[in-house]
Amino acid sequence: MRLNELAKLIRTAGDENRLKILCVIFSKKKICVSDIAEDLGSSVATTSHHLQVMSKEKLLVKTREGKRICYELPKGNFIKDLKSFICKYK
């Protein structure tokens, strides 16, 4: 991964709400938008917006399960390093 790609991922993940969302996904492996919103006490619309931004930047993988949109983390060293760094501070 190049430095400019890494910087973009870090900027995308750097929002406090997105960090909280990532910690929820780290603990559940794969989870749908409404479940994330419920876990965080946030609206589905706000949660969905953050998830879409992270998905667009390839920080998350989006899948459809019937009417529900679910997210999971892509495989890779960056994701492993991110988990060990952010989730100990939540």
Distance of CA 52 to the CA centre of its chain: 9
pLDDT at 89 over 70: no
What is d(CA 47, CA 39) in angstroms, rounded to the nearest whole number?
A: 11
Mean pLDDT of 30-45: 95
pLDDT at res. 13: 87
- List, in order of start, the domains of the chain with CATH numbers: 3-86 (1.10.10.10)
Which of 2, 6, 3 lies closest to 79 in space, CA to CA? 6
Q: What is the pTM of this model?
A: 0.86
Torsion of CA 17, 30, 1, 19, to 10 degrees: 10
Per-residue pLDDT of 41-88, as tens digits, reads 999 999 999 999 999 999 999 999 899 999 999 988 888 888 888 776
- Per the DSSP assignment, residues forming a β-bridge with 3 are none
